[in-house]
Structure 1
Amino acid sequence: MMRHKRLDHRFVQHIPERLEPGVLYVSMEYATSAHSCCCGCGEEVVAPFTPTDWKMTFDGETVSLRPSIGNWMLKCRSHYVIDRGEVIEAGPWSDEQVKAERRRDRAAKARFYGQTPKVEPSVQPGLPKAKLGFWRRLWDWTFGRS
């Protein structure tokens, strides 16, 4: 059961270090949003706005995020949609559904951004370290990948 049934939005330049429960922080400058998990567990949830991740809409009064927020890496495994500020609980997903969605997501990113080489140029001996783009750095920061 969701503890927070609504999220008030705040447009900010930078996401604050401490997130106030019940508030969706939106940074247009950094094309991302963050909020405290709506189940009440207190975990930080980050949703970057990219062509292959989340889309944010603002109707002049409320904010919506698509697709749903699936917190599969968190202990709570909460799953919900944010629609015009309302938090709508979505059904739980099985481990197989989560794996299938991660495969779909990786394939969508590979199609959009192009195939990533198996060995990053930054780790090949004798080559200068490659500078990662903004979206890749945001992805790595958000999901802890390198």
Structure 2
Amino acid sequence: MIRHKRLKHRFVEHIPECLEPGVLYVSMEYATSAHSCCCGCGEEVVTPFTPTDWKMTYDGETISLHPSIGNWMLKCRSHYVIRQGMVIEAGPWSQEQVEAECRRDRAAKRRFYRSSVQEQKKVELSPDKTSKTGFWVNIRNWLNRCW
């Protein structure tokens, strides 16, 4: 059961030690956000912004996070979406669904970081950084970071 149905946001440099319920703290400098679990259990929920974790959208007034927040390692096992500051309860997941998502997440991280390291090595090994290979690798890396 979701207790906090709306989150106001605060942009901060550092996430505070004590999280106020109903507040989503966002640190752009550290590319992460944190909040007290919306079910009211008081557990800290951290959502890092990375190519394989969460994405944040700020429309000038509200914040959305994608994908959903699944607190599978917490006792409450709450699951919700934060869309335009509203907390939308999502259905519970079975243990099999949680395990499948963990496998998918690990595979996505392996693919992303292996690919990034391999592309960086190609650029470093290229004697002429302006060669077509280096140029296109840099463009692809830039696009991957932006999208």
TM-score range, shorter chain: 0.7 to 0.9
What corresponds to 2:87 in structure 1?
87
What corresponds to 2:17 in structure 1?
17
For 1:46-61, what aligned pairs fall within 5 Å after superposition? 46-61=46-61
- Stretches of 4+ moved more than 2 A in 1? none
Distance 1:16 1:114 in 2: 33
> For this pair of structures, how many residues does the alignment match?
115
Identity %: 85
RMSD across aligned positions (CA): 0.8
For 1:50-129, what aligned pairs fall within 5 Å after superposition? 50-114=50-114
Q: Which amino acid letter does the alignment assign opposite residue 68 of structure 1?
A: S
Of the two, which has the highest radius of gyration? 2
Shift in Å, 1:11: 0.3
For residues 66-107 of structure 1, the C-alpha deviation after alignment (integer angstroms, 9 at most, x for no partner) is 000000000000000000000000000000000000000000
TM-score (norm 1): 0.78
Distance 2:29 2:6 in 1: 24
In structure 2, the residue corresponding to 1:114 is in which secondary structure? helix
Q: Which amino acid letter does the alignment assign opposite residue 76 of structure 1?
A: C
> Please, which runs of 5 or more residues in structure 2 have no aligned partner?
116-147
Shift in Å, 1:18: 0.2
In structure 2, the residue corresponding to 1:60 is in which secondary structure? coil
Q: Which amino acid letter does the alignment assign opposite residue 113 of structure 1?
A: Y
Distance 1:34 1:108 in 2: 23
In structure 2, the residue corresponding to 1:112 is in which secondary structure? helix
Distance 2:73 2:48 in 1: 16
What corresponds to 1:39 in structure 2?
39
For residues 39-66 of structure 1, the C-alpha deviation after alignment (integer angstroms, 9 at most, x for no partner) is 0000000000000000000000000000
Distance 2:10 2:54 in 1: 17
Q: Which amino acid letter does the alignment assign opposite residue 41 of structure 1?
A: C
Shift in Å, 1:114: 1.1
Distance 1:33 1:57 in 2: 12
Distance 1:59 1:91 in 2: 26
Distance 1:25 1:105 in 2: 24
Distance 1:2 1:94 in 2: 18
TM-score (norm 2): 0.77
> Please, which runs of 5 or more residues in structure 1 have no aligned partner?
116-146
Shift in Å, 1:31: 0.1
